[in-house]
Structure 1
Amino acid sequence: MAMWIQAQQLQGEALHQMQALYGQHFPIEVRHYLAQWIESQLWDSVELDNPAEEAKAKRLLDNLVAELQRKAQLQGGEDGFLLKIKLGHYASQLKSTYDRCPLELVRCIKHILHSEQRLVQEATNVSVGGAMDTLSQRHQQINQAFEELRLATQETENELRKLQHSQEYFIIQYQENLRIQAQLSSLSSLPPAERTQRETTLQSKRATVEAWLTREASTLQKYRLDLSEQHQKTLGLLRKQQTLILDEELIQWKRRQQLAGNGGPHEGGLDVLQSWCEKLADLIWQNRQQIRRCEHLTQQLPLPGPMEELLSKLNSDITDIISALVTSTFIIEKQPPQVLKTQTKFAATVRLLVGGKLNVHMNPPQVKAIIVSEQQAKALLKNESTHSESSGEILNNNCVMEYHQATGTLSAHFRNMSLKRIKRSDRRGAESVTEEKFTVLFESQFSVGGNELVFHVKTLSLPVVVIVHGSQDNNATATVLWDNAFAEPGRVPFIVPDKVLWPQLCEALDMKYKAEMHSGRGLSEDNLVFLAQKAFTSSSNNPEDYHNMTISWAQFNRESLPGRNFTFWQWFDGVVELMKKHLKPHWNDGAILGFVNKQQAQDMLMSKPNGTFLLRFSDSEIGGITIAWVAENPNKPGERLVWNLLPYTTKDFSIRSLADRISDLNHLLFLYPDRPKDEVFEMLTLFYGNAGVITGNVSGRFTTPNPEPSGGTPTFMDQTASPSVSHPNNFGVYPPMSDAMLDADGDFDLEDTMDVARHVEELLRRPMANQWSSQQS
Structure 2
Amino acid sequence: MSQWQELLRLNLVRGHLSHLYETTFPRHIRHSLCCYIESQDWDSAAVDECKANACFYALMLYLDEQKCSVQENNVLQAPDFPGMQDYLLKHFSNEPQRLAVVLSECLKEEKKVLALTSEPQPCVSPSVENNWSKLDNTVSDLKRQIMELKKENKTLEVLYENLDYIQKTWLDKVQQHTGPSQSQALNEECLKHTNFIIQTKQVVLQKVMNILNQVAHVVTVLVGVELPEWKRRQQMSCIGCPADTSLDHLQKWFTTVAEVLLHVRQQVQKMQDQDKKYNNSDVSNSSEAIDTCAQSLVMKLLTNALVVEKQPVMSSLLQRPLILKAGVRFTATVRFLINLPEFKDLLKVTPVFDKDVEAAVKGFRQFNFVRDNSKRLDVDSPGGGLAAEFAYMDIKRKTKAPNEQSHVGVCEELHLVTFVTTFQIAGLECNIQVSSLPVVVISSSSQVCSAWASVMWWNMLSPSEPWNLSLFSNPPPLSWQQLSQVLSWQFLAAGQRGLDENQLLMLRDKVGVDPEGLVYWSNFFKNESAWIWIDGILDLIRKYLVDLWREGHIMGFVSRERTRVLLQEKCTGTFLLRFSESSKEGAISFSWVKHSNGEAHVHAVEPYTKKELEFMSLPDVLCSYSVGSKFRKPLVFLYPDIPKDVAFGRYYSSDLQTPKQGGSGYVDRRPVHVSLLPLTPHSPTMEMNAEPETMELEQWFEEMISDILTLPAPP
**Structure 1 contact 610–632 (Cα < 8 Å) conserved:** yes
1-structure distance, mates of 2:615, 2:27: 33
User: Residues 496-546 of structure 1, C-alpha deviation per residue, up to 9 Å, x if partnerless?
Assistant: 78233322222222222112112xx321111111111222368xxxxxxx9
- Provide the residue aligned with 1:669 in structure 2: 635
Alignment of 1:85-484 (within 5 A): 137-172=130-165, 175=168, 201-202=179-180, 208=185, 218-265=195-242, 267-303=244-280, 305=282, 307-337=283-313, 338-355=322-339, 357-361=340-344, 363-372=345-354, 375=357, 391-395=367-371, 397-404=373-380, 406-421=382-397, 429=407, 431-449=408-426, 452-484=427-459
Q: Which has the higher contact order (CA 8 A, sep 6+)?
A: 2
- Matched to 1:473, the amino acid is V
- Matched to 2:332, the amino acid is A
2-structure distance, mates of 1:395, 1:304: 55
- Provide the residue aligned with 2:62 in structure 1: none
1-structure distance, mates of 2:266, 2:469: 40
For residue 596 of structure 1, report the CA deviation from its aligned partner. Answer: 0.8
- Provide the residue aligned with 1:501 in structure 2: 479
User: Residues 645-687 of structure 1, C-alpha deviation per residue, up to 9 Å, x if partnerless?
Assistant: 4433323322433234443443642443444545544345546
SS at match of 2:354: strand
Choose which of 645, 648, 654 in structure 1 pairs with 2:608. 648
- Provide the residue aligned with 1:730 in structure 2: 701
Residue 616 in structure 1 maps to residue 616 in structure 2: no
Which structure has the larger Rg? 1
- Matched to 2:635, the amino acid is L
Choose 215-224 or 392-401, whichever is displaced more. 215-224
1-structure distance, mates of 2:673, 2:381: 70
**TM-score for both structures, normalised by structure 1:** 0.64
Question: What is the RMSD of the two structures over their aligned residues, measured on CA atoms?
Answer: 4.7
For residue 722 of structure 1, report the CA deviation from its aligned partner. Answer: 11
- Provide the residue aligned with 1:511 in structure 2: 489
2-structure distance, mates of 1:614, 1:727: 29
**Structure 2 contact 678–695 (Cα < 8 Å) conserved:** no
User: Residues 232-259 of structure 1, C-alpha deviation per residue, up to 9 Å, x if partnerless?
Assistant: 1110111222333444333333333222
For residue 164 of structure 1, report the CA deviation from its aligned partner. Answer: 3.0
SS at match of 1:279: helix
2-structure distance, mates of 1:694, 1:609: 29
Classify 1:639/1:423 alpha carbon distance in 2 versus 1 (closer, same or farther; 3 Å): farther
For residue 468 of structure 1, report the CA deviation from its aligned partner. Answer: 2.0
SS at match of 2:432: strand
2-structure distance, mates of 1:513, 1:263: 8
For residue 492 of structure 1, report the CA deviation from its aligned partner. Answer: 3.8
For residue 321 of structure 1, report the CA deviation from its aligned partner. Answer: 1.6
SS at match of 1:263: coil
- Matched to 2:343, the amino acid is V
- Would you say how many aligned residue pairs link Structure 1 and Structure 2? 587
2-structure distance, mates of 1:697, 1:220: 96
For residue 281 of structure 1, report the CA deviation from its aligned partner. Answer: 2.4
Residue 488 in structure 1 maps to residue 463 in structure 2: yes
Classify 1:413/1:348 alpha carbon distance in 2 versus 1 (closer, same or farther; 3 Å): same
For residue 210 of structure 1, report the CA deviation from its aligned partner. Answer: 5.6
**Structure 2 contact 171–186 (Cα < 8 Å) conserved:** no
**Structure 1 contact 333–350 (Cα < 8 Å) conserved:** yes
2-structure distance, mates of 1:698, 1:502: 41
For residue 224 of structure 1, report the CA deviation from its aligned partner. Answer: 3.7
1-structure distance, mates of 2:161, 2:400: 67
2-structure distance, mates of 1:290, 1:596: 70
SS at match of 1:522: coil
Classify 1:210/1:404 alpha carbon distance in 2 versus 1 (closer, same or farther; 3 Å): same
Residue 625 in structure 1 maps to residue 588 in structure 2: yes
User: Residues 381-408 of structure 1, C-alpha deviation per residue, up to 9 Å, x if partnerless?
Assistant: xxxxxxxx98422446222323357225
2-structure distance, mates of 1:613, 1:419: 51
- Provide the residue aligned with 1:113 in structure 2: none
- Matched to 1:310, the amino acid is S
Choose which of 531, 539, 555 in structure 2 pairs with 1:593. 555
Structure 1: gaps spanning 5 or more residues? 1-37, 65-91, 105-126, 184-197, 380-388, 539-545, 561-565, 734-777
For residue 296 of structure 1, report the CA deviation from its aligned partner. Answer: 1.7
For residue 692 of structure 1, report the CA deviation from its aligned partner. Answer: 14
**Structure 2 contact 152–204 (Cα < 8 Å) conserved:** yes
Classify 1:588/1:404 alpha carbon distance in 2 versus 1 (closer, same or farther; 3 Å): closer
SS at match of 1:532: helix
User: Residues 190-229 of structure 1, C-alpha deviation per residue, up to 9 Å, x if partnerless?
Assistant: xxxxxxxx9x944x56655665565555554444433322
1-structure distance, mates of 2:274, 2:268: 10
**Structure 1 contact 336–346 (Cα < 8 Å) conserved:** yes
Classify 1:223/1:536 alpha carbon distance in 2 versus 1 (closer, same or farther; 3 Å): same
SS at match of 1:344: coil
2-structure distance, mates of 1:489, 1:281: 25
**Structure 1 contact 626–645 (Cα < 8 Å) conserved:** yes
- Matched to 2:148, the amino acid is E
SS at match of 2:583: coil
User: Residues 448-473 of structure 1, C-alpha deviation per residue, up to 9 Å, x if partnerless?
Assistant: 34xx2232221212221111211110
- Provide the residue aligned with 2:16 in structure 1: none
Percent identity between the two aligned chains: 25
**TM-score for both structures, normalised by structure 2:** 0.69
Classify 1:414/1:402 alpha carbon distance in 2 versus 1 (closer, same or farther; 3 Å): same
- Matched to 1:471, the amino acid is S
**Structure 1 contact 439–464 (Cα < 8 Å) conserved:** yes
Classify 1:206/1:440 alpha carbon distance in 2 versus 1 (closer, same or farther; 3 Å): same
Classify 1:602/1:427 alpha carbon distance in 2 versus 1 (closer, same or farther; 3 Å): farther
- Matched to 2:611, the amino acid is K
Choose 268-277 or 210-219, whichever is displaced more. 210-219
2-structure distance, mates of 1:136, 1:492: 29
Structure 2: gaps spanning 5 or more residues? 14-25, 42-64, 81-119, 314-321, 628-632, 660-666, 705-715
1-structure distance, mates of 2:656, 2:140: 70
2-structure distance, mates of 1:269, 1:409: 12
1-structure distance, mates of 2:229, 2:620: 47
